[in-house]
Amino acid sequence: MAENQAPPRDIEEHVQSYRSFVRGTIVVVLAGAFTLVALCAFAFGKSLSILLGWAVLVFGLVAIFIDLRSGSRSWLLSLGTLVFFALLTAINVS
């Protein structure tokens, strides 16, 4: 009977592909969350809503880029920035 096992070097490539896929998924989810917060700021903000919305988008994408380039596994800068701007938008909306 033939054995259908992949050579060990292929498994390393699969693990690297999986890690890249997970990092890409995290980037897309974070970018979507920043976009939703910015849209809330644009639509429902009372004062300086346009400035706040653009600040969310710009600072959010910069934070994602920094976390992506640094190889961070915790994404603390992006998550902290998201929480800060979400709270700021909530205060501006209420």
Question: Is 15 among the domain residues?
Answer: no
Question: Is 7 among the domain residues?
Answer: no
Question: Is 66 among the domain residues?
Answer: yes
Share of the chain above pLDDT 90, in %: 77
| pLDDT of the residue at 91 | 95
Question: Is 56 among the domain residues?
Answer: yes
Instruction: Calculate Rg over the CA atoms of the chain.
Output: 19
Question: Is 67 among the domain residues?
Answer: yes
Question: Is 49 among the domain residues?
Answer: yes
Mean pLDDT score of the chain: 92
Question: Any idea which residue has 């498994």 for tokens?
Answer: 11
Classify the phi-psi angles of 75: left when phi > 0, otherwise alpha if psi is within -120 to 50, otherwise beta: left
Angle at 86 between CA 22 and CA 41, to 5 degrees: 110
Question: Is 55 among the domain residues?
Answer: yes
Question: Is 69 among the domain residues?
Answer: yes
Q: How many structural domains comprise the chain?
A: 1
| pLDDT of the residue at 2 | 65
Q: 22 falls in which pLDDT band (50, 70, 90)?
A: very high
Domain that residue 29 falls in = 25-93
| pLDDT of the residue at 1 | 60
| pLDDT of the residue at 8 | 61
